[in-house]
């Protein structure tokens, strides 16, 4: 039985509200009971000065394979994940073909096993071809390994289709993850609709486009009694609506990305396509509301919204450039900058948004250091200073607005099932 001892670290386990300096012992790929003594372990990791936490989980990552391996493959994307401290990622079905059949879900799982970096759980499509019309074979997708359902960045505009999707996924006890946006209000949009879109002459995407859909989705979750998860919430009114719905018992959750906390629409003044994301970067007022939502738990998940695109797809006119940036390898430092150093969240809170929150969303048993749990562990150096260098990314793509940014904190060890993968 292989054994591993992680010595002298600060163990933070939000599932049990544990925050203490202790050794962590892993036996045969599982967390051993506290106080377990192993004579001459196979491996010892000195975690002095490090945070030892459950392996981080990113609920929704675009890995672009099959169909777009010029941008990313499951191998390169999972390598980026472990370098960023993630031991499990949810894989978006927005590939070519779309993951809307059992076979396509099994392909994702198989490629992830071959890559042998981190765990990959497929998210299945809600509708066939992401067309927003007919439901995909959800039960069969679950047989193929799918843990939840989403049509990725394609909003399900037809309310009757969404109602049935929620009812059906609810029957299967799985969440539907939705990109809340009214398509016609953001048509041809490039950035947040406001002062800077006016100044720059770039087509705006009003916050109301998100808020209207958030309200609709909450109403449909109430109607169906099913769970809905709103991806990448970016507006103040959205946070308020979600908070109120949760208070009256609606099964609605939501996530936020680090870049929506770190950057505003003013960044587009550079016309740099690496600031073109969907939902768009908004203003300080919206950021403050997102931080409030993270503090009180209205937003219980942080996602990288990893969207890799090759250089030639980013070197086009800004209205032709696809939305999105890579994020897996910058989540920790950007969260440290925006949430920890500013005092908005404790480490316990931040880690919960990256472990227990996404584990609950996807119905995973991981995300904790409980005795007997699979030994998915992330080691974080909270104070190391470094400069983000996109050329060193493990991801195949370099589309980040954070290249050259001086930051603090990073993953220094990623252990998946007791085996060190980074």
Catalytic residue ranges: 305
Cα–Cα distance for residue pair 287/236, rounded to 1 Å: 8
Residue with smaller CB distance to another protein, 37 or 320: 320
Pick one of 55, 204, 293, 324: the residue that binds another protein (CB under 8 A).
204
Report the residue from 158, 271, 342, 371 that binds another protein according to the rule CB under 8 A.
Answer: 271
Indicate which single residue of 240, 318, 322, 408 sits in contact with another protein (rule: CB under 8 A).
Answer: 318
Minimum distance of another protein from residue 202's CB (angstroms): 5
CA gap 18, 173 in Å, rounded: 29
**Long-range contacts: 350-353, Cβ < 8 Å, 24+?**
350/302, 351/12, 351/14, 351/51, 351/53, 351/54, 351/56, 352/14, 352/300, 353/294, 353/299, 353/300, 353/301, 353/302
Q: Is 39 in the site for another protein (CB under 8 A)?
A: no
* 98, 131 Cβ separation under 8 angstroms: no
* β-strands 377-387, 406-416 pairing: antiparallel
Among 316, 383, 385, 404, binds another protein (CB under 8 A): 316
C-alpha 188/C-alpha 409 separation (Å) is 37
- For the bound state, the minimum distance from the C-beta of residue 272 to another protein, rounded and expressed in Å, comes to 9
CB of 107 or CB of 275, closer to another protein: 275
Q: Which stretch binds another protein (CB under 8 A): 20-28, 142-150, 194-202, 287-295?
A: 194-202
> Can you name the residues that pair with 209 across neighbouring β-strands?
none
Helix and strand tally (H, E) in the chain? 13, 18
Residues 327, 70: Cα–Cα separation, whole Å: 17
Q: Is 200 in the site for another protein (CB under 8 A)?
A: yes
Q: Site mask, another protein, residues 131-150, x = CB under 8 A? A: --------------------
User: Shortest Cβ distance from residue 191 to another protein (Å)?
Assistant: 10
Quick check: bond before 261 cis, omega within 30? no
| Closer residue to another protein, CB minimum distance, 103 or 316 | 316
Instruction: For the beta carbon of residue 68, count every other beta carbon within 10 angstroms.
Output: 18
The residue among 311 and 387 lying less far from another protein, judged by its C-beta, is 311
**Strand pairing of 51-54 and 43-46?**
unpaired
From the list 173, 198, 342, 383, which residue makes contact with another protein (rule: CB under 8 A)?
198
Q: Is 12 helix (H, G, I), strand (E, B) or coil?
A: strand
- Interface residue with another protein among 187, 284, 342, 386 (CB under 8 A) is 187
Based on the shown chain and the rule CB under 8 A, indicate whether residue 284 belongs to the binding site for another protein. no
Region near another protein per CB under 8 A, out of 8-16, 152-160, 202-210, 390-398: 202-210
Residues at the site binding another protein, with contacts judged by CB under 8 A:
187-188, 193-195, 197-202, 204, 206, 271, 312, 315-320
């Amino acid at each position: 039985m292989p054994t591993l001892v992680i010595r002298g670290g600060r163990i933070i386990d939000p599932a049990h509200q544990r925050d203490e300096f202790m050794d962590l012992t892993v036996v045969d790929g599982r967390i051993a009971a506290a106080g377990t003594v192993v004579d001459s372990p196979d491996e010892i990791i000195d975690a002095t000065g490090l945070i030892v936490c459950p392996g981080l989980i990113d609920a929704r990552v675009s890995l672009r394979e099959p169909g777009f391996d010029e941008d990313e493959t499951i191998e390169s994307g999972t390598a980026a994940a472990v370098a960023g401290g993630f031991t499990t990622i949810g894989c978006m079905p927005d590939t070519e073909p779309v993951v809307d059949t059992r076979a396509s879900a099994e392909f994702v799982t198989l490629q992830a096993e071959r890559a042998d970096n981190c765990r990959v759980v497929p998210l299945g499509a809600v509708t066939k071809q992401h067309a927003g019309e007919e439901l995909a074979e959800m039960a069969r997708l679950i047989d193929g390994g799918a843990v939840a359902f989403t049509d990725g960045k394609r909003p399900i505009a037809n309310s009757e289709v969404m109602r049935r999707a929620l009812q059906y996924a609810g029957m299967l006890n799985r969440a539907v993850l939705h990109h809340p946006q009214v398509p016609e209000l953001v048509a041809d949009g490039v950035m947040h609709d406001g002062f800077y879109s006016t100044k720059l002459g770039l087509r705006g995407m009003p916050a109301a486009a998100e808020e209207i859909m958030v309200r609709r989705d909450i109403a449909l979750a109430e109607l169906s009694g099913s769970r809905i998860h709103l991806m990448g919430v970016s507006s103040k009114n959205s946070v308020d609506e979600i908070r109120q719905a949760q208070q009256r018992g609606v099964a609605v959750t939501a996530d936020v990305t680090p870049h929506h906390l770190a950057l505003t629409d003013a960044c587009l003044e550079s016309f740099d396509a690496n600031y073109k994301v969907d939902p768009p970067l908004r203003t300080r007022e919206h950021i403050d509301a997102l931080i409030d939502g993270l503090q009180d738990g209205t937003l219980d998940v942080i996602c990288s919204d990893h969207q890799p695109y090759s250089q030639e797809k980013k070197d086009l006119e800004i209205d032709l450039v696809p939305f999105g940036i890579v994020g897996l390898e910058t989540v920790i430092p950007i969260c440290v900058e925006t949430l920890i150093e500013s005092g908005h969240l404790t480490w316990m809170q931040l880690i919960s948004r990256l472990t227990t929150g996404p584990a609950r969303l996807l119905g995973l048993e991981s995300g904790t250091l409980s005795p007997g749990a699979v030994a998915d562990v992330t080691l974080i150096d909270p104070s190391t200073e470094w400069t983000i260098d996109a050329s060193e990314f493990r991801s195949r793509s370099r589309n980040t607005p954070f290249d050259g940014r001086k930051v603090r904190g990073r993953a220094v060890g990623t252990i998946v099932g007791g085996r060190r993968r980074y």
